[in-house]
Amino acid sequence: MNHKSRRIMNFWALFTGPALWWGTVLLVPYVLMLSVSFYSRQFPFHIPDFQFGNYALLLQDSQYYDVLLRSLKISLAVSVCAFLLSYPLAYFLAFKVRSGRLRLFLYAATIVPLWVSYLLRAYTWKTILGSEGILNSFLMWIGLIDEPSTILLYNQGAMVVTMAYIFTPFM
């Protein structure tokens, strides 16, 4: 076996395992989910008759359509906020921070929250934005509000802030 054929064989030997794993773990669930979306439903079963009725219902029924539009609006807002937070941070870390210790600290401050559960990070924002939270306490301390406010939590703005914080390191 010559050197070129050995390199090709090594490439395929290294490539095949991850490609099969990717196909099994990522691609198969997407294909299954897409195929089930064309099934009709007769509670509690899904009938595998290929039809576009579910997609027609999605676009015709205002309830589904409104939820779809709201989800797209929130995802766009989260993406824009995460972009506006992450790219200046990345630029600052890459080009402006000269001190190695400060750069290491800022990298750690960005990465360490990823070690914490997604649910715990979301719950942390509940304690920040809640009626007894840090933000309400600060707003009462500086005199902007007289009593704790509940409008900071359980709305789309709170969802955008929380999800932008959670997804910023991935941007």
Nearest in space to 111 (alpha carbons), one of 162, 168, 164: 168
Q: How many CB atoms lie within 10 A of CB 125?
A: 20
Mean pLDDT of the chain: 87
In whole angstroms, give the CA distance from residue 128 to residue 140: 14
The domain segmentation of the chain, as residue ranges, is 1-60, 68-171
pTM value? 0.70
Nearest in space to 132 (alpha carbons), one of 149, 144, 120: 149
Highest mean pLDDT, choosing among 21-25, 63-67, 76-80, 164-168: 76-80
In whole angstroms, give the CA distance from residue 82 to residue 88: 10
pLDDT tens by residue, 85-117: 999 988 988 898 888 899 889 888 888 888 888
